[in-house]
Amino acid sequence: MKEKINLDMPEVQPREQRLGTIIAWDGDIDELHRQSDFIGRAGCDRNAACKLCELRGPFSQGSVCSEQMVECQAGNVRDAVLIQHAPIGCGAGQVPYNSIYRNGLAMRGHKVENIRIINTNLSEDDVVFGAADKLRMAIDDAWTRYKPKAIFIATSCATGIIGEDVDSIAREKQEELNIPVIPMACEGFRSKHWSTGFDATQHGILRQIVNNHPHKQEDLVNVINLWGSDVFTPMLANLNLRVNYVIDLASVDDLARMSEAAATVGFCYTLSSYLAAALEEHFGVPEVKAPMPYGFAGTDAWLRELARITHREELAEKYIKAEHARVHPRIAELKKKLKGVKGYVATGSAYSHGLIQVLRELEVKVNGSLVFHHDPVYDSGDEQEDSLGHLLKHYGNVENFHVSNRQQYQLYAFLQKVHPDFMLIRHNGLAPLASRLGIPAAPLGDEHIAIGYQGIINLGETILDILARKKYHDSIKKHVTLPYTDWWLKQEDAYILAR
């Protein structure tokens, strides 16, 4: 069931309202899929009679906020500047995101430079009297220092609560400077899950940067991704298609020309859901609605759907056949080496579905996974995007499936139940606990590592690499004390306080 994306509102609608997103749940994939009711759009906040209910307890550990996702997307646009209208603490994120940005620029062959984020360093007076002039000044400084092609403005908890009128200042400055000045409502408190920050950035770009009068390019494909290595250019070249990577590491012009593309693809519906659906609905760029490109079944279906939309079926079949033949021998070797190994996946929602598929292609046993949140449906509402359903149908159930928004204390209990040999992690913070329990973990910094046919090989090799470091983890395990009480460490049910 499709619901219209509203680009007239200055603020994006949070995920829990649009999609019924939850951040705490306990069970297995079979049950989660049933309760999610992809077509019926179940959700905790949507209906009076809750069909998919959260198990939220009284205690929680620090998570991530939407503004951080804005930093890592809008902050990574090459010729733009991001202003954080916020106290300096929000600016603390600039350091890791600069590191990611520089790394990404190097991987994609761009000139390596620093991230351009300006913080307005709000003080107590600003919170009492408002800081409109400070924001105006920051915009002027951004212009003087960098002459950017666009200026993004991220709001903060402080500006959100005091009701700072960022929208009208942005409008005023946009007219004055004649470049897009884009406010993004990404206060940490606005959404229970940080993936709303992806949507906030995408919403702003859709409203103010994407070209409304495009000249269509029949061989251009928008690839919605982060800062990962360039695996799509060579892959899509086999279909005579060119890649337009968005949003990270893109230029403002790249963002504007999204409307010129023949199709939009993603590698993770958590990230691409909003932008891809809105590009189709408001700019007529078809979204490739298919399982995500992980494992043979997913990649085959994804390529075929892209080929169908761009009329390149023959090229796709040729490529699929050649790739199957190329990767099969190495995958067979990896399967032998990984025989009997058990893995655990702790990542964002849709990404976990993809990784489990790849692990099962490698015949690695997966009997547990943690996802930071769960979207019962994606924005397009198209069943072809039911990534959880695809995993269940082609690769079977995962018995211990938990929605837990980076809650270390719960992860301990999960791991006691499944005893994996290694863990795959996205968003670090969970890796140290795994290490302390003697479990080697690979934080997947390059999100493209497991994509497509080559991704199956890449992931297999990564696992062998991390298993090789087992001794280090064993020595840590011997010397570590966990910061939890004996009472908690004995609990088998990680959600006991929530029931």
According to CB under 8 A, which residues from 67 to 126 bind other proteins?
Answer: 67-68, 86-96, 98-99, 102, 114, 116-124, 126
Q: How far apart are CA 75 and CA 96, in angstroms?
A: 12
Q: Which of 130, 381, 389, 429 binds other proteins (CB under 8 A)?
A: 429
Q: How far apart are CA 288 and CA 280, in angstroms?
A: 10
CB of 465 to other proteins, least distance (A): 20
Single out the residue of 90, 116, 88, 89 nearest to residue 102, CA to CA: 116
CB of 79 to other proteins, least distance (A): 16
Q: How far apart are CA 103 and CA 229, in angstroms?
A: 10
- Binding window for other proteins (CB under 8 A); candidates: 175-183, 185-193, 268-276, 339-347: 185-193
- Report the alpha-carbon angle 221-222-228, nearest 5: 115
Contact string 195-234 vs other proteins (x = CB under 8 A): ----------------------------------------
Q: Which of 12, 19, 138, 252 binds other proteins (CB under 8 A)?
A: 138
- Report the alpha-carbon angle 40-46-50, nearest 5: 80
* Contacts of residue 425, Cβ cutoff 8 Å, sequence gap at least 6: 346, 347, 431, 434, 441, 442, 443, 444
Count of residues that interact with other proteins, criterion CB under 8 A: 73
Is there binding between residue 438 and other proteins (CB under 8 A)? no
Q: Which of 13, 35, 36, 191 binds other proteins (CB under 8 A)?
A: 191
- Binding window for other proteins (CB under 8 A); candidates: 60-68, 203-211, 226-234, 272-280: 60-68
154 neighbors 67 (Cβ within 8 angstroms): yes
Is there binding between residue 61 and other proteins (CB under 8 A)? yes
Report how far apart, in Å, the C-alpha atoms of 16 and of each of 20, 198, 199, 221 are.
4, 13, 12, 29
- Binding window for other proteins (CB under 8 A); candidates: 137-145, 230-238, 290-298, 372-380: 137-145
Q: Which of 50, 107, 464, 497 binds other proteins (CB under 8 A)?
A: 497
Q: Quick one: 230 exposed, middle or buried, by C-beta within 10 A (0-12, 13-18, 19+)?
A: middle
Is there binding between residue 144 and other proteins (CB under 8 A)? no
Q: Which of 106, 161, 237, 468 binds other proteins (CB under 8 A)?
A: 161
- The separation between CA 4 and the C-alpha centre of its own chain, rounded to angstroms, equals 22
Is there binding between residue 157 and other proteins (CB under 8 A)? yes
CB closer to other proteins, 66 vs 458: 66
CB closer to other proteins, 150 vs 301: 150
CB atoms within 10 A of CB 436: 18
CB of 378 to other proteins, least distance (A): 22
Q: Give the footprint of other proteins on residues 384-423 (CB under 8 A).
A: 405-406, 408-409
Residues linked to residue 423 through DSSP beta bridges, in sequence order: 344, 441
